Structure 1
Amino acid sequence: MPELPLWSFPAAQEITEVLEWRTDVLTSRAGEQRIGLRPRPREIVTFRHRLDALGMARAAELARAGFAGDWHVPLWHMALQPNADLAQGATEILLDTGLSDFRSGELVAITVDGREAAAVSIASVLADRLILAEPLGLQLPSPAVAAPRITVAPIRAGVLTSAIEVTRRRQGDGTVTASFLLRDAPDLVAPVLPTYLGRPVQTDPSLVRRPLSASLRRAVEYVDTGFGPVVVEPLGDVFERSETITLKAQGPFARHSLRRWLWSLRGRQASFWLPTWGRELQLRAAMTSGSTLMRVAPVASLQAYVGRAILLEMPTALRFRTITAAIAEGADHRLTLSSNLGEPVSLTTRVHFLTAMRADADRVEIQHGAVASEVTLPVVEVPA
């Protein structure tokens, strides 16, 4: 089998990664059932390369020779810097392999000072290093290279999904854009998040700092005969809150955790808790450590409180509870929680509603910049 061509050009601008699942959502009046039809996503990555005249010519000739075939594609959005300098003759690269997608028996791309990458075969992958199948040689431009000058990225097989675009600013300066559909998607493990009632709780601090937009609705049908009043007929019993959230991850660990969390959603299939961060429940009295009674300013009807999950921002940790009963007490409402907090609750404690949500799209687009990754995700409320 002939060796696959290497798309060796380093990405000089923002990288776009698209993850596509497929979920069948069966709706009913009381809720919905979600069936995952594609357990692992399709991955499409788009690279933009800033190249000189020779680089643009090489890209054009590579495309001409192998456009319809498979390629070896360095995944620059998963690239890492080694933890130690590299020298010619070395057979190990020290780095945290758990933060990327290195695989035994596959290839790794090595680039120095942003030049074109060279591929090296991986013999085995350990937690803190890559063991190479052969010593480094011509992959390095000098006998020893400092770690900050080196970038190491995993390589996966892929196919081009669209035409390669070349935009020239001048004769010797241009941008080449290429999109690849990657093969053999990994099976990433969900990150460790706080959980409540069997669901993970998304408490990423970047979500708190980003603007949240929300819409509130219920499925209805408007009946208009044209001769009288318009009649509204409910089509479902579930009230829906939909939002668009933005998450930002900076640094290799946070970036990898973000991708793992998106993987765990499996498109529209899995649900999670999302705090409103709206401080809806404002305390009217402090609580003792053993109390389950919370006195708050009225914000809803008494029946609307029951069964709602809440989040309390305690000094030691975030606490999650469920409201089991509600009564009026003078001008306030007194809520009964599922259990006590185990520590005093001050009057200034922030309390938010928790909403069970799922992604409202099977297609997720991640923008990978030089120092951070960002994703904007539509989510919709599901029955708790």
Structure 2
Amino acid sequence: MPEAGNVLPIWAFPVAQEITEVLEWRTDVLSSHAGEQRIALRPRPREIVTFRHRLDALGMARAAELARAGFAGDWNVPLWHMALQPNADLVQGDTEILIPTGLSDLRAGGLVAIAVDGGDAAVMEIATVQADWLILAEPLVLQLPSPTVAAQRITVAPIRAGILTSPVEIARRRQGDGTVTANFLLRNAPEIAAPTMPSYLGRPVQTDPSLVRRPLTASLRRAVEYVDNGFGPVVVEPMRDVFERNETITLKAQGPTARYSLRRWLWSLRGRQASFWLPTWGYELQLCTAMTSGSVLMRVAPVASLDAYIGRRIMLEMPGALRFRTITAASADGADHRLTLSSSLGEPVPLTTKVHFLTTIRSDADRVEIQHGAVASEMTLPVVGVGA
């Protein structure tokens, strides 16, 4: 109901459909002839979530009255896309919930939503957050419908303050069946540490197995100016030395651990500000002979001019792990090309090893949209190359 005193109204309705989460940063990109400078103007993103609720006649009436009474104020918003299930049954009188707190935005002194069988959320205050459990400020009593409730029936979600950013929409299919859609801009974005990822030369390497490259949508270009006076030939004048490769990547995360890892990675990018390595997954360098463990010479089928290899970074899919190296020299060897690597691999390199170029990439969007389904979360991100 409407705000009373310092208690905010809660949007407690259960979510029955896909949740859309939007993260928005602001980055000022200053381009030059040989590179670019990126200035982060919003270090933490704005978070906008869209909830869709399947409600009966009473539920739709409650939603309408809640919006009417408190539309312009702050709300307590359960974050159902960060919901977790406890690791043990809950008993009336308990003050602890066994749950992996590091996979959600649970904060000491904040609030948590507890829902049973997908019903409306009950609100509890968090006293302390430990690595594997929550300590509540008060014991669980009225929040549970029976003395003991199985963990599989319980959903626990963090609560954050938020404001409505657009009208609450009600689509009524029948008199007692409809969908309510609400959009909230959340307050107090959290600090999230970057995930642990493979790294090379000070940059993380994105090697998520769910990553999908879409070469059909790729564009290869260099910024140029076409000079045409209308009387003579058209002259092409390069405007930048950087060759740009625009692509789209799709990442899918299934399960709480993968979802939270995806969120941490997006936080670390800060929109268009941070760069990372991305393998082309194109199998560009095809070995002509196997390599010994101490060799730095790689014999490959020709794919580029000799000087074009030098300085390029590569990724080798070794049997035990992914390895990263830099090409320091190149020469012709009969019909093949012989490349010199920055160091040996320390183990034999089979002839069937897949070798890909590494490119320096950044996000080409400050607005990222994540679709959270019941099983997995998925996001599509446009990226642009900012170097070799």
Query: Post-superposition shift, 1:7?
Result: 0.2
Q: How does 1:44-83 map to 2 (within 5 A)?
A: 44-83=48-87
Which residue of structure 2 aligns with residue 292 of structure 1?
A: 296
Query: Post-superposition shift, 1:211?
Result: 4.1
Which residue of structure 2 aligns with residue 116 of structure 1?
A: 120
Which residue of structure 1 aligns with residue 277 of structure 2?
A: 273
Matched, 1:89 2:93: yes
SS at match of 2:262: helix
Query: Post-superposition shift, 1:242?
Result: 1.1
Q: How far apart, in 1, do the equivalents of 2:375 and 2:185 lie?
A: 24
Q: How far apart, in 2, do the equivalents of 1:53 and 1:259 lie?
A: 36
Which residue of structure 2 aligns with residue 368 of structure 1?
A: 372
Q: How far apart, in 2, do the equivalents of 1:296 and 1:142 lie?
A: 69
Query: Post-superposition shift, 1:95?
Result: 0.5
Matched, 1:26 2:30: yes
Matched, 1:177 2:181: yes
Q: How far apart, in 2, do the equivalents of 1:249 and 1:203 lie?
A: 13
Cα deviations by residue, 1:183-229 (Å, 9 ceiling, x for unpaired): 00001101100000000000000015x64542111001111222222
Query: Post-superposition shift, 1:143?
Result: 1.2
Matched, 1:216 2:220: yes
Q: How far apart, in 1, do the equivalents of 2:183 and 2:203 lie?
A: 35
Q: TM-score, with normalisation over the residues of structure 1?
A: 0.99
Q: How far apart, in 1, do the equivalents of 2:242 and 2:186 lie?
A: 39
Q: How far apart, in 1, do the equivalents of 2:65 and 2:16 lie?
A: 20
SS at match of 2:259: helix
Q: TM-score, with normalisation over the residues of structure 2?
A: 0.98
Query: Post-superposition shift, 1:2?
Result: 2.6
Q: How far apart, in 1, do the equivalents of 2:307 and 2:16 lie?
A: 56
Partner residue of 2:325 out of 296, 321, 326: 321
Q: How far apart, in 1, do the equivalents of 2:218 and 2:253 lie?
A: 22
State how many pairs are aligned.
383
Q: Does the CA-based 8 Å contact 2:21-2:371 persist in structure 1? A: yes
Cα deviations by residue, 1:245-298 (Å, 9 ceiling, x for unpaired): 000000000000000000000000000000000000000111000000000000
Which residue of structure 2 aligns with residue 199 of structure 1?
A: 203
Q: How far apart, in 1, do the equivalents of 2:149 and 2:166 lie?
A: 37
Q: How far apart, in 2, do the equivalents of 1:383 and 1:51 lie?
A: 51
Q: How does 1:208-287 map to 2 (within 5 A)?
A: 208=212, 211-212=214-215, 213-287=217-291
Q: Does the CA-based 8 Å contact 2:214-2:247 persist in structure 1? A: no
Structure 1 gap segments, 5+ residues each: none
Amino acid at match of 1:33: Q
Q: Does the CA-based 8 Å contact 2:60-2:178 persist in structure 1? A: yes
Q: How does 1:343-354 map to 2 (within 5 A)?
A: 343-354=347-358
Between 1:191-200 and 1:227-236, the stretch displaced more is 227-236
Cα deviations by residue, 1:104-129 (Å, 9 ceiling, x for unpaired): 11110000111111100000100000
Matched, 1:38 2:27: no
Which residue of structure 1 aligns with residue 383 of structure 2?
A: 379
Amino acid at match of 1:255: R
Structure 2 gap segments, 5+ residues each: none
Q: How far apart, in 2, do the equivalents of 1:8 and 1:62 lie?
A: 11
The alignment's C-alpha RMSD in Å is 0.9
Q: How far apart, in 2, do the equivalents of 1:247 and 1:316 lie?
A: 24
Identity, in percent, stands at 81
